[in-house]
Amino acid sequence: MNAADDLVDLVRSYNPRTNEGMIRDAFEFGAEMHEGQFRHSGEPYFTHPVAVASLLAEQQMDDATLITALLHDTIEDTKASFKDVETRFSREIAELVDGVTKLTNLQLSSTETKQAENFRKLFMATSRDLRVTLVKLADRLHNMRTIKSMRPEKQAQKARETMDIYAPLAGRMGMQWMRDELEDLAFRVLNPEGRNSIIRRFITLQKETGDVVEKITGDMRSELARANIPADLMGRAKKPYSIWRKMQEKDQGFSRLSDIYGFRIITETESDCYRALGAIHQRWKAVPGRFKDYISQPKSNGYRSIHTTVSGRDGKRVEVQIRTREMHEVAETGVAAHWSYKNGERVENRFAVDPVRWISSLTDRLDDDHDHDEFLEAVKLEMYTDQVFCFSPKGDVIKLPRGATPIDFAYAIHTRIGNACLGAKVDGMRVPLWTRLKNGQSIEIITAEGQTPQVTWIDIAVTGRAKTAIRKFLREENREKFIRLGAELARVAFENAGKRATDKALRTAAKTLAIETVDEMLALLGSAEMSAQSVVRAIYPDLALRAGDEVDQARAVVGLGPEQSHRRALCCQPVPGERIIGITFRGKGVVVHSIDCEALADYEEQPDRWVDLHWQGGTHGAVNTISLDLSITNDAGVLGRICTLIGEQKANISDLTFIDRKPDYYRLHIEVDVRDVEHLHRVMTALEAESNVSALSRRRDASRASETLV
């Protein structure tokens, strides 16, 4: 049996009424057009379109989509034209193939400004016919599965593009299985050591505890049977990239992550979902704050499921998802549910939602004259984030991304409310504006006449809408101040490069950067939307920062007054690359805190002491001390290897203290000097990969805030 027969048989299994003749004709036409072409692996090129069509057939797609997959590279890479495809097949298929070709030619891994414009084009193309995007996603998935045959630099480019664009797009369109695989394939290329370290930890954990998934699945199956709830149950360890992302988000080591296993319960009816939830919670203790009901409050892409996290066997936390079979189809196939067939008939799923509405609302909301970088930021935020649902005092439900703050809530209601936001109450209690909102909370925004947005709000806000509104207000309200600050930043940057920031030099830089006026460029500098280094390099592109040219530590922080000095807070130990804020102390200068430092809550009612700060661009010296807490096995040579690992990352150990000594492990406290947050992450990643490190965390202690002033 040949490849054409295999594909036709696969399509017949779900669509007996398929137009077999047209699929075979497309197969023959594609093979003829790609004759003599080969992939990097040496295989005939047409094996790729066949694999893409097979992926879509597994999703039970319609004939037009499958034929488009077989022909998706013909207009771009062969002598076939749009007219040839239209004449031989149909106008519909020719337009679909042409749409895939245009998406392919967008070059989405280019510079940020061009990438933003390409994002806009991507969404405009997607809104015309979603099948174009489905073919492109399947095309990217097969290319990522066979990426090893590409050059290393090409692999890295494609993997980053996949991680930034195609994986989140697949997730937003409801195709979570594809997002998971795309992320893992990209992770394999971008950080093979990180991925392998997680896999090694899993293997070690399985040797120590046995097959945890099988044991917990058995326990849950028994509970459901006892409650007489018919359901299918499956469990698995989470993907390496999913675990890695949790480690980065929570700043925790592998051993401290609890919910690394996921379980899914598929019931017959919606009422059975809630009965199953009751059975699970009756047997195991629910983890507070980890319950989400996406059945009563579905996601915008139609996803419905109940999520809960419980303390399972041996106290291990496990995530449980509960949904019906109909909900499961949407959760697995997402937008593909709109085009899938069964027994020759289009499947109607009452839970499927057309993501075109989301894409259209995004493109409608962001005008053509919108700033490119802001558009890109808004799109990425829309694609990456999960949602929480909060209530206004009137009972209106406001959907926000996970991690949203009261500032985002205020701007979601109206820009006027956001601009005048003075404070917020969550469930009746006054909270700081940087508080992360949770599902089901009731939010009341406190406004005041004369109140205006602060620069720090940009770092606190999560939604693109809020950030855009804040930046727009600040640009208009503080334009003169930003221009003066930008001029000073430009002067310092040019002096550090041995040049002078003359009027002519600044005009030349603005012209090179395609900025209309010098004042506009300086305003961007002053508002931290552009680095001073980029202005210098616009005129002197070969003027790279030499290894010895480090940022002057006295000028490491931007935003201080002429006579103000600064010191890093000991409670949070901020490092360059992290968001920061300053608190003034009479006679003590300004103490610099991370934006999420718990100690800032003590100054909430003293806004006059807050100073808007950000780190100076450029290379910082390895003089920023941070504290790490480690637990290591008590074996010969382990401590030496830990010190060597830190040294290999070009970091210096300034202090080391043993906190606890046991027969089987040591707990110790290490002070390490690093340059910036990326340097810190490299140090922690190297330690995480060491099998003798059982726990690792960055030490932050709000009680040490007062020590900074001593």
CA distance 591 to 609: 10
Q: What is the pLDDT of residues 434-479, one digit of tens each?
A: 888 887 788 999 998 888 888 778 878 888 888 888 888 877 777 7
The side-by-side arrangement of strands in the sheet containing 566-568 is: 566-568, 589-594, 580-585, 610-612
**Within the chain, which residue ranges are assigned CATH 3.10.20.30?**
385-476
CA distance 146 to 442: 49
Q: What is the pLDDT of residues 635-670, one digit of tens each?
A: 778 888 888 888 888 888 888 888 887 777 788 889
Fold of 3-191: Hypothetical protein af1432 (1.10.3210)
Tell me the CA distances in angstroms from 488 to 84, 501, 522, 525, 532, one per residue in order.
Answer: 61, 10, 9, 9, 10
**77 an active-site residue?**
yes
CA distance 251 to 245: 10
Q: Which of 20, 25, 77, 92 is catalytic?
A: 77
pLDDT number for residue 417: 93
What residues contact 592, with CB distance under 8 A and at least 6 apart? 557, 566, 567, 568, 569, 574, 580, 581, 582, 613
Task: Give 10-residue mean pLDDT values along the chain (710 residues).
Answer: 82 86 91 89 90 89 90 88 90 87 63 50 60 88 91 88 82 80 90 81 68 83 91 84 69 54 90 92 82 81 84 74 87 64 56 56 50 54 59 79 88 91 88 84 88 83 86 77 82 80 88 85 78 80 52 78 83 88 85 87 81 80 88 83 84 85 82 87 80 84 72
Q: Is 652 helix (H, G, I), strand (E, B) or coil?
A: strand
Characterize the bridge pairing of strands 614-615 and 397-401. Answer: unpaired
* Structural contact between residues 240 and 198, judged by C-beta atoms closer than 8 angstroms: yes
CA distance 423 to 445: 6
Give the residue among 403, 402, 398, 439 at the shortest CA–CA distance from 418: 398
Give the residue among 331, 215, 334, 192 at the shortest CA–CA distance from 273: 331
Residue 370 pairs with which residues in a beta bridge? none
Q: What is the pLDDT of residues 292-324, one digit of tens each?
A: 888 887 876 677 899 998 876 666 678 899 999
pLDDT number for residue 348: 58
pLDDT number for residue 696: 87
* Structural contact between residues 453 and 474, judged by C-beta atoms closer than 8 angstroms: yes
Q: Please, what is the Cα angle at 625 between 623 and 631, to 5 degrees?
A: 140
Which two structure tokens, joined as six digits, stand for 367?
């005008």
CATH number for the domain whose boundaries are 211-338: 3.30.460.10
Burial classification of residue 703, based on how many CB atoms lie within 10 Å of its CB (0-12 exposed, 13-18 middle, 19 or more buried):
exposed
Residue 38 pairs with which residues in a beta bridge? 44
- Is the domain 385-476 a CATH 3.40.630.30 member? no
pLDDT number for residue 170: 82
* Structural contact between residues 399 and 300, judged by C-beta atoms closer than 8 angstroms: yes
Q: Residue 698 — φ and ψ, nearest 5°? A: -85, 130
Give the residue among 196, 194, 137 at the shortest CA–CA distance from 171: 137
pLDDT number for residue 225: 92
* Structural contact between residues 302 and 352, judged by C-beta atoms closer than 8 angstroms: yes
CA distance 274 to 281: 10
pLDDT number for residue 110: 46
The single-letter code of the amino acid at 563 is E
Characterize the bridge pairing of strands 566-568 and 443-447. Answer: unpaired
Which two structure tokens, joined as six digits, stand for 246?
């949790």
Q: What is the pLDDT of residues 550-584, one digit of tens each?
A: 677 777 888 887 777 888 998 899 998 888 888 98
Give the residue among 364, 366, 406, 399 at the shortest CA–CA distance from 385: 399
CA distance 217 to 210: 13
Q: Is 404 helix (H, G, I), strand (E, B) or coil?
A: coil
Range 160-167, long-range pairs (CB < 8 A, 24+ positions): 160/109, 160/186, 160/190, 161/108, 161/109, 162/186, 163/187, 163/190, 164/380, 165/108, 165/119, 165/122, 166/136, 166/137, 166/140
pLDDT number for residue 685: 77
* Structural contact between residues 58 and 11, judged by C-beta atoms closer than 8 angstroms: no
Q: Which of 20, 25, 76, 488 is catalytic?
A: 76
CA distance 699 to 697: 6
Q: Residue 201 — φ and ψ, nearest 5°? A: -65, -40
pLDDT number for residue 544: 45
pLDDT number for residue 206: 67
pLDDT number for residue 125: 54
* Structural contact between residues 61 and 337, judged by C-beta atoms closer than 8 angstroms: no
What residues contact 283, with CB distance under 8 A and at least 6 apart? 219, 223
**Within the chain, which residue ranges are assigned CATH 1.10.3210.10?**
3-191
Q: Please, what is the Cα angle at 126 between 125 and 131, to 5 degrees?
A: 115
End-to-end CA distance of the chain: 81
Please give the model's pTM, rounded to 2 decimal places: 0.53
Evaluated on CA atoms 414, 417, 419, 421, the torsion sign reads negative
pLDDT number for residue 1: 46
- Is the domain 624-709 a CATH 3.30.70.260 member? yes
Beta strands in 218-316, from DSSP E residues, in sequence order: 231-237, 261-267, 285-286, 292-293, 306-311
Beta strands in 537-692, from DSSP E residues, in sequence order: 557-558, 566-568, 580-585, 589-594, 610-612, 614-615, 624-633, 652-661, 665-674
Which two structure tokens, joined as six digits, stand for 19?
């137009």
